[in-house]
Amino acid sequence: GIGYINGKYIGLNENAVPIEERGCQFGDGIYEVIRVYNGKPFMLDEHLARLLKSGNAIKLQIKQSMEEFRMLIKEAIAKSGLSNCCVYLQITRGISARNHLFPDVPVSISMTVKQIIPLPDSIREKGAAAIFHEDERWANCYIKSLNLLPNVLARQTAYEQGCFEAILVREGMVTEGTSSNVFIVKQGKVYTTPLSRNILAGITRMVVKRVSEVVNVQFIEQAFSKEDLVGADEVFITNTTSEIVPIVKVEGKKIGTGAPGEVTMKLYHKLQQFVADLKEM
């Protein structure tokens, strides 16, 4: 893999920023994770649109255009020599003496391009377990902000209980995972939490919506509770790096038959086909 910061390509372990950097000191920045299949960034424009939306939401003065980011990302992928990889792109409010007020300096743009770490086959085939966790985050979770402490803590709690993901719950209703969107299947229909300030508008969520249409599965954006989830026929989560992951156990209770569900796998296979078609383009 390779690194990039403010116009310069560097090794992943090289020092990148001075100690007084807004991202390090305040988490004052935003990011995106983009999946690359066969050298081609998947859903790049959608990721860049979300990046600029997050940037506007935190009043970042980004001078670069969407086209410049598009070129930069493609250049970095080419330089990495990797074809199935992930681009991590981060923009912070820059380098300046620590002070809460916005500094009058350019934003810092950094990037890594790294090989994908594939999800273990056992999780693909047998599904994963999850816990419920109180959603302790702020009121603007639609912003892909660097402030991930509540996500990190919840995810670690899940891990320590032998689970793959923590499903976050706000006032009894499921919001999303610590780094994923959450879906349930009931009587062949897919339900997911409606977009609001409380969740990230996942790009994979958008892909699943499109894929559902193609395979004639009804896709319903409707809030659901912890109890609805536990009683669902199937549960799955999505994100850019893992695509679709079946969740077969929550809080120690089996979901449906306790195996990856039929609708989940249908969507997963169709998504794989989408991506395969992309490779040939």
The residue ranges that bind ligand PMP (CB under 6 A) are 33, 176, 179-181, 200, 202-205, 238-240
Q: How far apart are CA 166 and CA 128, in angstroms?
A: 11
Tell me if residue 114 is catalytic.
Answer: no
CA distances from 163 to 136, 158, 160, 222 (A): 19, 5, 7, 26
Phi and psi at residue 244, in whole multiples of 5°? Answer: -120, 125
Cβ 237 to ligand PMP, closest distance in Å? 8
Instruction: Pick between residue 204 and residue 264 the one whose CB is nearest to ligand PMP.
Output: 204
Coil, helix or strand at residue 46: helix
DSSP 154: H
Instruction: Pick between residue 94 and residue 177 the one whose CB is nearest to ligand PMP.
Output: 177
Cβ 225 to ligand PMP, closest distance in Å? 19
Instruction: Pick between residue 179 and residue 264 the one whose CB is nearest to ligand PMP.
Output: 179
Cβ 8 to ligand PMP, closest distance in Å? 26
Residue of 57, 58, 66, 69 whose CA lies nearest to 23:
58
Cβ 239 to ligand PMP, closest distance in Å? 4
Cβ 178 to ligand PMP, closest distance in Å? 6
Instruction: Pick between residue 105 and residue 152 the one whose CB is nearest to ligand PMP.
Output: 152
Are residues 17 and 24 in contact, defined by beta-carbon separation less than 8 angstroms? Answer: yes
User: Rounded to 5 degrees, what angle do the CA atoms 267, 114, 95 make?
Assistant: 115
Instruction: Pick between residue 21 and residue 176 the one whose CB is nearest to ligand PMP.
Output: 176
Q: Given 144, 189, 253, 266, which residue is catalytic?
A: 144
- Residues counted in the chain: 281
Q: How far apart are CA 98 and CA 83, in angstroms?
A: 39
- Which residues lie across from 37 on neighbouring strands? 40
Catalytic residues: 144
